[in-house]
């Protein structure tokens, strides 16, 4: 018998103190596979992505429950508001820790200590507790107390220096790429720690700095300096060994295709697909090394030729010939892509306030225990009564008192 969709992590309870993208992405991965993720926010400072109303300019009072980014990252989670600066809020949090498996937070390094909720305190409450901390720069070193977001980590980790054109400055990517990379690391660390706890019976505190997972991805650049003493330069869409390699215009407005030719056999196949134009027989393009040395000239010929083709038709022919190629797709193209639809790459999620929209589905899919959609993203404080009653046994009068004191709530201030 196979488990119900999303149930492989059933019985694991996660207290989620994260915000923005990196931490919520980690907890989304866990929630999609059945972990009970209780997202804890304050009414004074809800998760900033609740206010991500882009691409529309939302002005309604409850806009913080409609943000598109939050709808994507908040699915399958419960929402509890809890002011951890108040003694009652801290006490309730500790009581929840006693009944939980994991705490994940991505504050700057000193926040949990200043709140009196560092791992030593929480471990005393629950020796089996696993705590995942995701400060931007870790807990030791001169940058440890700096606040960080993916947009800042990207250049600081060395990625932006390698991104851009030879005649221009560094460029950042279109998304805060370090965030989901750190999120994947945090989710993996959680699973490893759960496995280790099964053997030892003890929890542990794990640090996942945003910066280091990205720096680890730049191994070739680090090695080139270590071995050759070279600082890599920006090369745009070029490759450091292959040619042609780039993004080329096609017929129609703002239509593009990416093509990578890795060796002579693929070059021969490219020539056939393009119809053996005369320039492909130029001696300067006779082998891989010559093509790489004359990449500027080669790109001029490539652009003049690809402009005659419709992008999808050319990409299909190139791929059929064994040449890596792909159409540059817009967000509209992605949502209409027949291949992605076949693979159910988007989940259509209905939310009472935000409406019904497609959102990216999990990229990790276990065949026997697939992820599942249990609930849409929660409104702020939507599960206050459920969590405090079911897990802590609070009475309606006690919950009302907490609301009156501002320890919990359902409206952003």
Residue with tokens 């882009």: 54
Residues 375/76, Cβ–Cβ less than 8 Å: yes
Tell me the C-alpha distance between 7 and 247, whole Å.
42
Cβ-count burial of 24 within 10 angstroms (0-12 exposed, 13-18 middle, 19+ buried)? buried
Rounded to an integer, what distance in angstroms lies between the CA atom of residue 64 and that of residue 44?
Answer: 12
Q: Tell me the per-residue pLDDT of 220-278, one tens digit each, with 9 for 90 and over.
A: 888 888 999 988 888 899 998 999 999 999 999 999 999 999 999 999 999 999 999 99
Q: What are phi and psi of 59, to 5 degrees?
A: -125, 0
pLDDT score of 289 more than 80: yes
Class of 13-216+344-404 per CATH? alpha beta
Residue 337 annotated in active site: no
The mean per-residue pLDDT over the stretch 336-359 comes to: 91
Q: What pLDDT digit, counting tens, does each position of 19-33 carry?
A: 999 999 999 999 999
Check whether 59 has a pLDDT greater than 70: no
Active-site residue among 167, 179, 333, 401? 179
Span(s) in the chain for CATH 3.40.50.10540: 13-216+344-404
Identify the bridge partners of residue 411 per DSSP, sorted by sequence position: none
Which of the four CATH numbers 3.30.1540.10, 3.40.718.10, 2.40.110.10, 3.40.50.300 does domain 245-332 have? Answer: 3.30.1540.10
User: Quick one: pLDDT at residue 216?
Assistant: 85
pLDDT band at residue 63 using 50, 70 and 90 as cut-offs: confident
Sign of the dihedral defined by the CA atoms of residues 227, 141, 203, 9, in that order:
negative
| Ranges in the chain annotated CATH 3.30.1540.10 | 245-332
Question: Is residue 1 very low, low, confident or very high in pLDDT (cuts 50, 70, 90)?
Answer: very low
């Amino acid at each position: 018998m196979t488990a119900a969709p999303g149930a492989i992590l059933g019985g694991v309870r996660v207290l989620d103190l994260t915000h923005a993208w990196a931490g919520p992405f980690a907890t989304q991965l866990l929630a999609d596979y059945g972990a009970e993720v209780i997202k804890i926010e304050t009414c004074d400072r809800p998760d900033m992505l609740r206010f991500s109303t882009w691409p529309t300019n939302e002005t309604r009072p409850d806009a913080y429950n409609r943000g598109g980014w939050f709808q994507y990252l908040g699915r399958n989670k419960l929402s509890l508001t809890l002011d951890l600066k108040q003694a009652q809020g801290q006490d309730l949090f500790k009581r929840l820790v006693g009944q939980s498996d994991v705490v994940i937070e991505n504050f700057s390094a000193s926040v949990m200590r200043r709140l009196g909720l560092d791992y030593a305190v929480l471990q005393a409450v629950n020796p089996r507790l696993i705590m995942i901390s995701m400060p931007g720069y870790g807990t030791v070193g001169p940058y440890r107390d700096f606040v960080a977001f993916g947009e800042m980590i990207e250049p600081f980790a060395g990625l932006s220096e390698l991104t851009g054109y030879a005649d221009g400055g560094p460029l950042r990517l279109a998304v805060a790429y370090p965030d989901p990379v750190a999120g994947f690391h945090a989710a993996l660390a959680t699973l490893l720690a759960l496995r280790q706890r099964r053997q030892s019976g003890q929890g542990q505190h794990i640090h996942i700095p945003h910066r280091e997972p990205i720096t680890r991805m730049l191994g070739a650049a680090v090695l080139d300096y270590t071995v050759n003493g070279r600082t890599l330069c920006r090369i745009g869409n070029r490759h450091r060994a292959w040619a042609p390699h780039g993004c080329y215009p096609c017929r129609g407005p703002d239509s593009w295709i990416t093509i990578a030719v890795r060796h002579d056999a693929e070059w021969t196949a490219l020539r056939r697909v393009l119809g053996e134009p005369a320039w492909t027989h130029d001696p300067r393009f006779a082998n891989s090394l010559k093509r790489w040395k004359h990449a500027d000239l080669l790109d001029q010929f490539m652009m003049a030729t690809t402009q005659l083709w419709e992008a999808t038709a050319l990409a299909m022919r190139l791929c059929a010939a064994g040449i890596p190629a792909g159409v540059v797709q817009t967000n509209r193209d992605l949502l209409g892509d027949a291949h992605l639809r076949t693979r159910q790459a988007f989940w259509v999620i209905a939310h009472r306030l935000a409406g019904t929209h497609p959102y990216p589905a999990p990229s990790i899919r276990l065949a026997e225990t697939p992820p599942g959609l249990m609930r849409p993203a929660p409104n702020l404080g939507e599960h206050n009564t459920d969590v405090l009653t079911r897990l802590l046994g609070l009475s309606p009068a006690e919950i009302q008192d907490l609301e009156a004191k501002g320890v919990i709530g359902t409206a952003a201030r």
